[in-house]
Structure 1
Amino acid sequence: MNLYPIGKPLVKIFYHLFFRITVIGSENIPKQGGVLICSNHLSNFDPPFIGVSITRALSFIAKSELFKVPVLGVLLRHLNSFPVRRGEGDRGAIRMALKLIREGHALLLFPEGHRNLNQDAPLKQGLSGAGFFALKTDAVVVPCAIIGRYKFRSKMKIVFGKPVDTMAMKNQKLKSSEASTVIMRRIQALLDEHAGPTA
């Protein structure tokens, strides 16, 4: 049973009660077709935060350890999530991601591969996965920046940038790692442009 249609409205109410949310650039996400949303990663709250900020259903990858947590693991499987074994080149997760994108779904990725809690520091180098999916599919790649801290009634901002020019990356015959670098630069540019006081 897919709980996403039920869970999304409830989570949206929760987020708007607990945080003061501003969403910028949601029009940059196409209403249909394969989409790859690439974002910085602050917290485990990020996937649902991004999910309630767009109109489309969102699939996302979560570290396999979370699926072993009682109750949480069951919920994740019914909320458009699938596991990845980090650091192992998980082929099953790669095949699933490619399948979802090619079938026209929206997929969320955190190119850094893990949470980066220091918002004042530059983003770390992105893993090659984001670049690989961008080069191997026709997905629209949308950079995303999450700004703020998940504290009660704090200001949270989520910014969706204009799509990355994936055709240029393909024409230049970039490697996956190089394409990921291009994507990370776009995310960093959004952070630099929109960062400001949050409280």
Structure 2
Amino acid sequence: MNLTYFLGKMLAAFYFHTFYNIKITGSGKLPEKSSFIVCSNHINLLDPVVIAVCFNRKVHFMAKESLFKNKFIAFVIRKLGAFPVDRASVGLSTFKDAMKLLKSGKVMGIFSQGTRMSSVDEESAKAGVSLFAVKSESKVVPVGIKSSFKLFSDVSVNIGEPMAFSEYNKKITKEQLEDITKEIMIKIKDLSN
């Protein structure tokens, strides 16, 4: 964990514990050394920050490509572990970045619906999380966030049991990827209610 990430996480933790009533459940179930993918619902701009506060390990988030157009913002969010993704279609460079992270034992964060949404809809989720999980042989940790994010309100973060998909081989069909994604999203929906 680099100094920028550590300081950012400490400031964020102070902010959330001062201005919100943050409640975290399930955080003892996480792999300590192996790679995994944090997959969460995305209801607010602050979701990646909340997740970073809840996890002991550095979470490298996929972030929309447009955030990287401003050189200063790009510099800061790269230091915080983010890497760009074209939400319309994941390109080869994004796929390689994600696989490199996961193959080196790191933690990747992804919002499977691709953008902020007020509710979890498994039909709108993209299959990228499933593809990354199967190809890298990484577990998926589903997370449900529930909050209005109004000052001094409750922020509930429910961390589910890691989900393994080792029964699938690396030559997986599109239908199997969609089935896995649906299974993950159903779990996230349960955790966010």
Question: What is the TM-score normalised by the length of structure 1?
Answer: 0.87
Q: Does 1:93 align with 2:116?
A: no
Structure 1 counterpart SS, 2:15: helix
Counterpart in the other structure of 1:72: 73
Paired with 2:121 and 2:19, the residues of 1 have a C-alpha distance of 28
CA–CA separation in structure 2 for the residues paired with 1:45 and 1:18: 13
Alignment of 1:173-184 (within 5 A): 175-184=176-185
Distance 1:103 1:184, change over 3 A: same
Query: 2:156 matched to 1:154?
Result: no
Indicate yes or no: 2:142 matched with 1:167.
no
CA contact (8 A) 1:23 1:158 kept: yes
| 1:35 matched residue in structure 2 | 36
The alpha carbon displacement at 1:125 in A equals 2.7
- Cα distance in 1 for partners of 2:128, 2:162 equals 17
Map of 2:10 onto structure 1 = 9
Secondary structure class of the residue paired with 2:44: coil
RMSD of Structure 2 on Structure 1 (CA): 2.1
Structure-2 residue corresponding to 1:145: 144
Query: Which residue type is aligned with residue 90 of structure 1?
Result: G
Q: Does 1:129 align with 2:128?
A: yes
Offset, 1:170: 4.7
Verify the 8 A CA contact 2:61 2:83 in the aligned structure 1. yes
CA contact (8 A) 1:125 1:181 kept: no
Q: TM-score, normalised by structure 2?
A: 0.90
Partner deviation per Cα, 1:20-43 (whole Å, 9 max, x = no partner):
100000012111110101100012
List alignment gaps of at least 5 residues for structure 2: none
Contiguous gaps of at least 5 residues in structure 1: none
Amino acid at match of 1:190: L
The verdict on how the C-alpha distance between 1:140 and 1:88 changes in structure 2, with shifts beyond 3 A counting, is: closer
Q: Deviation of residue 122 (structure 1)?
A: 4.3
